[in-house]
Structure 1
Amino acid sequence: MDPLFLFIELLFVLCSLILYNHHLRSKKTSSAVPIEWPILGHLPGMIANIHHFHDWSTGFLAGVGCNFEGRLGWTGLRYFITCDPANVRHVFTSNFANYPKGEEFATTFDILGGGILSADGESWRRQRVKVQMLMADPRFRALTAGCSHDEVETSLLPFLALAADEGRLCDLVDVFLRITFDVACTLICGVDPGCLVTGLPVVPFLRATDDALETLFLRHIIPMPCWKLMRRLNVGPERKMAIARRTIDNFIADTIAARRAAILNEGATDSADLLSSILCQENNSANDIMAGEFVHDTTLGLLVAGRDGMAAALSWFFYLVLTNPRVEKKLLDELSLVVASKKDGAGSAAVDSSSGGMETFHASEIKSLVYLHAAMCETLRLYPPIPFEFKTAAAADVLPCGKVLKAGDKVLFFNYAMSRMEGVWGKDCTEFRPERWITEEGSLRYEPSYKFFSFNTGPRTCLGKDMAFVLTKTVAAAMLWNFAFEVVPGHVVEPKLSIILHMKNGLLVRVRRRSRTMSHVVTAKT
């Protein structure tokens, strides 16, 4: 073919595509709405913006008024996407029975098995009652407080002190993933794996969990027939998922077997960890809820929820605090009152902790710290550990926004976007402002859970909420009081493509010890 004619044909095709693109854009009701292409639907827009998916989705939801119907073209899939609190309350509370996790959720999150995080109906109810009873046990609550304090004192502070003394850069995301895993393993499995030690050894379970969470996110973007084919052919992200699943299953199985053997050899155990409690009841009950599969799936679900949720919260908390010196100063002023009170109670001499003279805080000491709690809530509002969730309508329904749903329709709830909607949180919604959680009288302000959605809402509200606050505040208080951190200039911080809102590039900081005298503490108190 003559090169000139080939050039003319290509130019014609290019011009036609440009004109057609202009035609599609002219049909949009808002500039923020993604283009719906023939055959492909909104899929091209999602793929083109996958690198900043959360902020992109926030932008178009703000432009269309919190509600949008997404279509994936030839797949026939439709998702109603919303960040409207009224819709959240309706689906998760008012009409809870009509919105189970559903078969698609169970298929997508197959790695969780039939545990409490993915179960529906009677199975979910029975599991929740069991786990709720165990976590409400005073012994477990005492273990949570004691373990959090001990891990900070014996692992975290010495690790940071060494990093400060040697002048090493430190990735706080990695540090938080390790300490929260140590705490979660201790509380759930009764074993401390000791991940936060000098040299930071490779932990296969942690790496496998990261790979699994990334693949689960991609399963929300890639049409199900496509990722199922990848899984069958063992290619792409599904190959990584298969390897991760084997590592995770082996770790859980070995942990359960070791704990079961210890209980059988030692007889009745006094341990308050959840796995020991479950296994002890297993030995005294023929109830099928105690079957091996339940123990495996429950242990895995609790470990993932405990470790990743708390690590993500701590990572974003420190990023926000370190980039807002005003907030950091207020937190230190509040902590100084606790330290001064401890010094007064011990007399005029300074009281050194066993962690090299550094100060640690017990759960009972920081329970009443309003500003610290407010700052943690503000972090969870802006960077919820689970940025989006989806539900499936079991029967036809009408949402408060007026959207008519058919049986089988999917609804995606964008928690990350909700925190950035002016209509929900006001004109300063994108600002990190802990004061929004404090009343004029100085007490904590209540926000309904369907608006502050970080711990879910309704019957499936997170059972580990109290545990999460105890650990995160214990860690945050000790780190802020004993060390000063500086984010490395030029370090890019952005969300990772995962179903948990981790940081893509970590949080690289310089660490230095804070120097304080008794007079500083007394001055702060007065």
Structure 2
Amino acid sequence: MVMLTISLAMAVTLILTLFLYAFHQTKSLKTPAFTNWPFIGMLPQFLWNISHIHEYSAILLKSKGGTIEFIGPWFTKMVGLITSDPINVHHIMSKKFDNFVKGDSFREVFEPFGEGIFTTDSHKWKYNRTLLQFLFKQRSFEAFQEKIIHNKVEKSLIPLLNHVQQQKGSVVDLQDVFNRFTFDNICLIILGHDPNCLSIDFPEVAAEKAFNQAEESIFYRHTVPPFVWRLQSWLQIGEEKKMTEACKIFDQFLFSCIASKREELKKNGKNNEIEAESDETHRVDLLTALIREEQKYKNSESSGDKFLRDAVFNLFVAGRDTITSSLTWLFYLVATHPLVEAKILEEIKENFGHKEKPWMLNVDEVKKLVYLHGAICEALRLFPPIPFERKEAVTPDILPSGHHVYPKKMILFSLYAMGRDKDIWGEDYLEFKPERWISERGGIVYAPSYKFFSFNAGPRTCLGRDLAFIQVKMIAASILWNFGVHVVDVNQVTPNLSIVLLTKHGLKVKIAKR
């Protein structure tokens, strides 16, 4: 017994010594190090650089040819591969699509997502995608979204920014404004319910706060060995307790909305009507459309409150956070690049300068704003809303880079690193340059999805890509034409640590009337 205790003490001492030495080495190196230490693997340098992990990963991947293998402490079974190589992306996402899945480990980490389009594989994923694609392609859905955005911008966003600019010297967190705007907007589009997050008094809405917390907790699960967060979940302590409480609050909100919608449709006698050819039938929120599909076909794949809850949660992630991120980084980049701002305003003036302020452009009008489209693409390239994607192989394979992958071995794509790769984007890869996306004839330049990965690639390419561009253009054009946005402290604007790439300290700005 004594000998066992001594052996354990020596082992712990050895591991701690290695940790301290590895940290010291990592701290003293000017270039990224990725050493596989005995017992502790590559975890020390990962933890040391966690506060700026996206930038660290980009520099590291660049120095290693675009792909590296990660090995964690021996007792954690943390083994994976990180890549930013477009050829690997094309291989995994398109050429060998059926051999690469999200997998059970992914679904466990992203537990709050349930069995929605982002977490499922095989027939469940295909069913979710087919259903949502059908709903998005309804003739009146684009008009429905346009109407909601118009109303929210006109009645909430513009009045709030007007109020801010009237308070001399007042500073507002534009990221918080966008967070609130998009939460209201997505609630209206999906649930037909307006929680009124965006108002002058900046109210605290429990569901919105809970949704944000759930996402932060999911990212935490990526930063520690699985046994750590599993133990915390079992004991209900730390970040896992926060996730449980947040999910409970948000689920109560969703299930309440589902129950109310069912009751509303039942009361109105519309849940048994089948009017598939009527435009008016689909001029409704997505939850109503989902319930109508459920009633028409009685398909077990798409029936029940749990299915609706999972579908709605995934739509929230797709249509809320990505738009908040896109708008936040777009305004940060435009505000810090006056020449780009001037060109956007010139394009708006040339096309719509005759309109009286304040105004909102419609879907067809924003399609004319090619330079603004290029600026949005640049923001998405430099600051992708989802900074990493995750897959695993079904059967062993060899990637084009020569790396072997096996079942259960985690594969991470660094979208952040891909957007800052000289081999993909050229010598000016760090420049914010909307012209990169505009052809000599004045059209929009197409970039393959395995290089411009912000909307995913292959069969899983984002269904809402075009809708997202329309939404961001409508909001951005309205704000830029009516207000000047000035960032208070550029040095404070850094990426956060979450599954969605937002700014760590918000985007503090001053608003001026044009």
Fold shared, TM-score > 0.5 on shorter chain: yes
Q: 1:324 maps to what in 2?
A: 337
The whole-number CA distance in structure 2 between the counterparts of 1:77 and 1:466 is 37
Q: 2:241 maps to what in 1?
A: 239
The Cα of 1:291 is off from its aligned counterpart by 1.9
* Matching of residue 283 in structure 1 with residue 295 in structure 2: yes
Cα offsets for 1:1-25 (capped at 9, x unmatched):
xxxxxxxxxxxx9xx9799769989
SS at match of 1:90: helix
The whole-number CA distance in structure 2 between the counterparts of 1:302 and 1:22 is 41
Which of structures 1 and 2 has the bigger CA Rg? 1
Aligned residue runs from structure 1 range 205-224, under 5 A: 205-224=207-226
CA contact (8 A) 2:32 2:56 kept: no
Q: 2:81 maps to what in 1?
A: 80
Q: 1:254 to 1:19 in 2, by over 3 A?
A: closer
Q: 1:327 to 1:490 in 2, by over 3 A?
A: closer
Q: Which segments of 5 or more consecutive residues in structure 1 lack a partner in the other structure?
A: 1-12, 344-350, 515-526
Q: 1:38 maps to what in 2?
A: 38
The Cα of 1:264 is off from its aligned counterpart by 1.0
CA contact (8 A) 1:57 1:417 kept: yes
Aligned residue runs from structure 1 range 399-438, under 5 A: 399-438=399-438
The Cα of 1:391 is off from its aligned counterpart by 0.5
Q: 2:275 maps to what in 1?
A: none
4+ residue runs of structure 1 moved beyond 4 angstroms? 16-25
The Cα of 1:441 is off from its aligned counterpart by 1.7
Q: 1:398 maps to what in 2?
A: 398
The whole-number CA distance in structure 1 between the counterparts of 2:302 and 2:108 is 23
CA contact (8 A) 1:24 1:35 kept: no
Farther-moved stretch of structure 1 (35-44 vs 408-417): 35-44
Q: 1:10 maps to what in 2?
A: none
Cα offsets for 1:86-140 (capped at 9, x unmatched):
1111101110111111000010001111111111111111111011000110111
**Code of the aligned partner of 1:384:** P
**Code of the aligned partner of 1:316:** W
CA contact (8 A) 1:312 1:385 kept: yes
Aligned residue runs from structure 1 range 68-467, under 5 A: 68-74=68-74, 75-167=76-168, 168-268=170-270, 270=281, 271-292=283-304, 293-340=306-353, 343=354, 352=356, 357-467=357-467
**Code of the aligned partner of 1:173:** Q
The whole-number CA distance in structure 1 between the counterparts of 2:164 and 2:407 is 56
CA contact (8 A) 1:42 1:73 kept: yes
The Cα of 1:268 is off from its aligned counterpart by 2.1
The whole-number CA distance in structure 2 between the counterparts of 1:473 and 1:235 is 43
The Cα of 1:175 is off from its aligned counterpart by 0.6
The whole-number CA distance in structure 2 between the counterparts of 1:22 and 1:280 is 57
The whole-number CA distance in structure 2 between the counterparts of 1:381 and 1:134 is 28
SS at match of 2:101: coil
The whole-number CA distance in structure 2 between the counterparts of 1:133 and 1:81 is 34
Q: Which segments of 5 or more consecutive residues in structure 2 lack a partner in the other structure?
A: 1-13, 272-280
The whole-number CA distance in structure 2 between the counterparts of 1:204 and 1:118 is 25
The whole-number CA distance in structure 1 between the counterparts of 2:164 and 2:477 is 18
Q: 2:64 maps to what in 1?
A: 64
CA contact (8 A) 2:36 2:42 kept: yes
Cα offsets for 1:355-410 (capped at 9, x unmatched):
xx413222221112110101001100111000001101110111111112222222
CA contact (8 A) 2:41 2:71 kept: yes
SS at match of 1:68: strand
Aligned residues: 484
* TM-score (structure 2 length as normaliser): 0.91
CA contact (8 A) 2:23 2:48 kept: no
Q: 1:48 maps to what in 2?
A: 48
Aligned residue runs from structure 1 range 7-18, under 5 A: none
The whole-number CA distance in structure 2 between the counterparts of 1:231 and 1:328 is 47
SS at match of 1:454: helix
The Cα of 1:483 is off from its aligned counterpart by 0.3
* TM-score (structure 1 length as normaliser): 0.89
**Code of the aligned partner of 2:49:** N
CA contact (8 A) 2:438 2:444 kept: yes
**Code of the aligned partner of 1:96:** F
SS at match of 1:138: coil
Q: 1:518 maps to what in 2?
A: none
**Code of the aligned partner of 1:111:** P
**Code of the aligned partner of 2:321:** D
CA contact (8 A) 1:395 1:408 kept: no
The whole-number CA distance in structure 2 between the counterparts of 1:399 and 1:288 is 38
Identity of aligned residues (%): 41
**Code of the aligned partner of 1:417:** A
The Cα of 1:412 is off from its aligned counterpart by 0.7
CA contact (8 A) 2:215 2:498 kept: yes
CA contact (8 A) 1:484 1:511 kept: yes
**Code of the aligned partner of 1:234:** Q
CA contact (8 A) 1:83 1:417 kept: yes
The Cα of 1:35 is off from its aligned counterpart by 2.6
Cα offsets for 1:480-524 (capped at 9, x unmatched):
00001111136601111100001110000011110xxxxxxxxxx
The whole-number CA distance in structure 2 between the counterparts of 1:467 and 1:495 is 25
The whole-number CA distance in structure 2 between the counterparts of 1:20 and 1:38 is 12
CA contact (8 A) 1:456 1:462 kept: yes
Q: 1:409 to 1:163 in 2, by over 3 A?
A: same
CA contact (8 A) 1:179 1:195 kept: yes
The whole-number CA distance in structure 2 between the counterparts of 1:388 and 1:135 is 25
CA contact (8 A) 1:24 1:36 kept: no
Q: 1:505 maps to what in 2?
A: 505
The Cα of 1:234 is off from its aligned counterpart by 0.9
CA contact (8 A) 2:22 2:45 kept: no
The whole-number CA distance in structure 2 between the counterparts of 1:18 and 1:233 is 27
The Cα of 1:33 is off from its aligned counterpart by 3.1
The whole-number CA distance in structure 2 between the counterparts of 1:238 and 1:90 is 35
CA contact (8 A) 2:42 2:71 kept: yes
The whole-number CA distance in structure 2 between the counterparts of 1:309 and 1:24 is 37
